[in-house]
A and B are shown apart, each in its own frame.
Chain A
Amino acid sequence: MIRSLALPILFGLAGLVLPFTGSSYLIGVGFALCCSIALVQSWTVLSAMTGYVSLGHAVFYGLGAYVVALSWGALPMPVGLLLAGGVAGVFALLVGMPVLRVRGPYFVILTFGLAELVKYLVIILESELGSFSRLMFGAPDLGVLYAIAFALAAIATAGALLIRRSRLGRGLLALRENEEAAETVGVPVVRLKLVAFALSAVIPGVVGGLAAMRTTYFEPMQAFDPTVSFTIVTMAVVGGSDDARGPLLGAAFFTILSEVLWARLPQVYMVVLGLLLILFVLFIPRGLAGIFAGRPGKAA
């Protein structure tokens, strides 16, 4: 217990100290890192705990961005952000029922397709509304955005820790091992999956809203960029998703490495990232957290 809390606390302290450096650049990196941690932790609530691998978390991110862009100027910023999370969660509840009946590779592809479908629906909707892209003037300062992102990362990490120890978490793990068996012994499989799906959607919605404020611009092709979905899964694999430390390590490794690489090796850093991903999958399947844990165990 103590060991598994040490790393989150370390990250938390580092995050609290960061603003005092006064360096916009570092705070900018910190903002991106916090957003990534929040996204990956949320993703694990569904995908690592239940084994339903989502390749469509960009849909929640994009919806959140859209809600914030739509409500910009009409609602106070905090309300817009809460609404972004709410809409993402409600959307997950609505589509979750049919979507979570599909398993394995079908679920992976389905979530991806769903994100693309929503992207094109938003494009049509924007067209009907006579809008081409939305500019958001007067977005909050980087310091404020960082504080919100830090809080989100903290909430997501704490949430992931708590859920793993709760009845919900145990139920989810049971259904990951064997869904039919879990159902037979009375685990409310359908409800648990749905709750996990919704929980894993809320924070990505808020993060999407934050990202829109950071760029002060909304355009569907950008907001629903499938790269977001791929990056989340990549970070989860690199970090390992067996416990709440994995996403911290994965997001930090990925963010810091690409930060170092794109400054030093601007021409080849994407190639290096691709190679690293391959090496991780083949040789470190339990991720960085697996190395830390040190004990041999089963793959996530």
Chain B
Amino acid sequence: MDVLLSGQLLFAALITGALYALIALGLNLVYGTMRLLNVAHGDLVMIGAYVAFWGLTLFGLSPVVGLVLAAAAGALLGWLTYLGLFRRLLASPQLMRRLEGNSLLLFFGISVILQNLASLAFTASARGYQFMDQVYRFGDVALTGNRIFVLVVAVAICAAVYLLLRFHVFGLAIKALIERRDAALIVGVDIDRVQLAAICLGFAIAAIAGVLVSTTEQISPFMGFPFTISAFVVIILGGLGNISAGLVAGLLLGVLEVYGVALTSAAYRSVLIYGVFIAILLVRPQGLLGRGSVVR
């Protein structure tokens, strides 16, 4: 029982949860503004991880610099896919009729392409590096430096994006698009620009998360899919397109994973996560924290 009360477990839950919240944030922005189901989201995490890895390996750049490079790479990919694919998709009434299904397939195509290009360019072998692997002790809590790094960066970025959406004009436009798409059109929001910004921001966040992941675990071209899944679990928990609820849901998933395992058994980890996920979809599809009106 005292395990449950330990600060060690609390921090584990916070770190896991903060990373989930960050990864899901990017997915939620893209879904919220455009109703696109991005199943390539985890592959953007992979791209970010490789940017950090190669930055360090080839040019000796710290993963802190990698954060910026990865964000730029993610935004660039967002820009390319929006101009190349999604502007066309969103402009065609015929394709809009089954937007979710079509976007899912487009992103599936992108996912396959990204994974296999990465595998061709970098080989499929797992790789990795060490960063801030010193263990720091705070009372009876021990934390590895890179895990503190993950926590700090993830929280900072989530907070920054939250504040942007809350107070900045541009963020408000994104928020307007998410909550009242038709109304946003009427009041003269430049939808095209806002959508482009949202997809660039969403992809950049995923790539930043990839840098964080690469500091704590090994990376490979096919590492992305589990991240895609957990991001979907989080945004469903919070309610599709509901940004702030998604952040809370990310933390909740971290708590569920860490404390759920501590209370029952590690063997039940995946069943627990998917079980809660399905129960919520069946009982409250608007999300655990969502207001009924936010979605659809």
Q: Do the two chains touch directly in the complex (Cβ atoms below 8 Å apart)?
A: yes
Whether B101 and A113, one on each chain, are in contact in the complex, defined by CB atoms closer than 8 angstroms, is no
Shortest distance between the CB of B238 and any CB in chain A (Å): 13
Interface contact B110-A285, CB-CB below 8 Å: no
Q: Are B274's CB and A278's CB within 8 A?
A: no
Is A275 on the interface with B (CB-CB < 8 A)? yes
CB pair B105–A234 under 8 Å, yes or no, is yes
A114 CA to B277 CA, complexed, in Å: 9
Can you sample 18 A-B contacts with CB below 8 Å? Answer: A53-B100, A105-B37, A106-B240, A106-B281, A108-B104, A113-B233, A117-B271, A120-B274, A121-B271, A226-B225, A230-B108, A233-B105, A234-B108, A271-B113, A274-B113, A275-B113, A278-B85, A281-B95
Chain B window 271-282, contacts with chain A (Cβ cutoff 8 Å), 1 for yes, 0 for no: 100110110011
Say if the beta carbon of A116 comes within 8 Å of chain B: yes
Q: Are B296 and A285 in contact (CB under 8 A)?
A: no
Q: Please give the distance in Å from B85's CB to the nearest CB on chain A.
A: 7
The total of chain A residues at the interface (CB under 8 A) is: 43
Complex contacts, A120 vs chain B, CB 8 Å? 270-271, 274
Are A275 and B282 CB-contacts (below 8 A) given A108-B101, A117-B274, A267-B120? no
A110 at the interface (CB under 8 A from B): yes
How many angstroms between the C-alpha atoms of A110 and B101 in the bound complex?
14
* CA gap between A277 and B101 in the complex, in Å: 13
| Contacting residues, chain A, for B274 (C-beta < 8 A) | 113-114, 116-117, 120
Q: Is A260 an interface residue (CB 8 A)?
A: no
Q: Are A282 and B112 in contact (CB under 8 A)?
A: no
Residues in chain B near residue A237, CB distance under 8 A: 105
> Looking across the interface, which residue of chain B has its beta carbon closest to that of A280?
B105
**Assuming A98-B282, A105-B35, what are 14 further A-B pairs, CB within 8 angstroms?**
A102-B285, A105-B37, A109-B236, A113-B233, A117-B271, A237-B105, A268-B116, A274-B111, A274-B113, A275-B113, A278-B109, A282-B85, A299-B94, A299-B95
Contact B100 A108 (CB under 8 A): yes
A interface SS class: helix
Q: Is B218 an interface residue (CB 8 A)?
A: no
Q: Say yes or no: is A127 at the interface (Cβ < 8 Å to chain B).
A: yes
B241 CB, min distance to chain A CBs, angstroms: 10
Q: Are A281 and B275 in contact (CB under 8 A)?
A: no
- Complex CA–CA separation, A106 to B110 (angstroms): 22
Would you call the interface of chain B mostly helix, strand, loop, or mixed? helix
Closest Cβ of chain A to B275, distance in Å, is: 6
Most buried by B among A53, A275, A278: A278
Chain B proximity of A191: nearest CB distance (Å): 19
CB neighbours of B229 from chain A (8 A): 116
Partner of B240, one of A55, A99, A105, A127: A105
Considering the chains assembled together, what is the distance between the CA atoms of A123 and B106 in angstroms? 31
Tell me the smallest distance from the CB of B65 to a CB of chain A, in Å.
30
Q: Does B129 contact A (CB under 8 A)?
A: no
Evaluate contact between B120 and A268: CB separation under 8 angstroms.
yes
- Chain B residues with Cβ below 8 Å from A278 are 85, 106, 109-110
A233 CB contacts on chain B under 8 angstroms = 101, 104-105
Chain A residues whose CB sits within 8 angstroms of the CB of B112 once the complex forms: 270-271, 273-274, 277
For the complex formed, measure the closest distance between the CB of A206 and the CB atoms of chain B, giving whole angstroms: 26
For residue B277, which residue of chain A has the nearest CB?
A113
We find that the number of chain B residues with CB closer than 8 angstroms to chain A is: 43
Query: Which residue from B88, B95, B109, B236 sits with its C-beta under 8 Å from A274?
Result: B109
A270–B115 Cα gap in the complex (Å)? 9
- On whether the beta carbons of B102 and A285 are closer than 8 Å, the reply is yes
What's the Cα separation between A277 and B232 when bound, in Å? 22
Residues on the B chain within 8 Å of A104, using CB: 100, 296
Most buried by A among B233, B278, B282: B278
Q: Is the CB of A108 within 8 A of B37?
A: yes
Q: Decide yes or no whether B117 CB sits under 8 A from chain A.
A: yes
B270 cross-chain contacts in A, Cβ below 8 A: 116, 120, 123
Asked if A295 is at the interface (CB within 8 A of a chain B CB), the reply is no
Query: Which of B109, B116, B275 has its CB near the most chain A CB atoms (within 10 A)?
Result: B109
Which residues in B have their C-beta under 8 angstroms from that of A110? 278, 281-282
Judge whether B232 and A99 touch: CB under 8 Å.
Answer: no
Complex CA–CA separation, A278 to B109 (angstroms): 6
Q: Point out the residue from A267, A270, A281 that lies within 8 Å of B106, measured CB to CB.
A: A281
Q: Does B137 contact A (CB under 8 A)?
A: no
Residues of B within 8 A of A102 (CB): 281-282, 285
- B113, A113: Cβ atoms under 8 Å? no
Q: Quick check: A271 and B108 within 8 Å, CB to CB?
A: no
B56 at the interface (CB under 8 A from A): no
Q: Which residues of A contact B117 (CB under 8 A)?
A: 271
Closest to A237 in B: B105
User: Chain A 185-211, CB within 8 Å of chain B: the 1/0 string?
Assistant: 000000000000000000000000000
Closest to A233 in B: B105
CA–CA, A113 and B105, complex, Å: 17
Q: Is A124 interfacial (CB-CB < 8 Å)?
A: yes
> B89 near A: Cβ within 8 Å?
yes
**Chain B residues near A105 (CB-CB < 8 A):** 35, 37, 100, 240
**Complex contact B268–A106 (CB within 8 A):** no
Q: A275-B109, A285-B94 are in contact. Are A113 and B104 (CB under 8 A)?
A: no
Chain B residue contacts of A271, Cβ below 8 A: 112-113, 116-117, 120
How far, in angstroms, from A123 to B268 measured CA to CA in the complex?
A: 10
A52 to chain B, nearest CB (A): 11
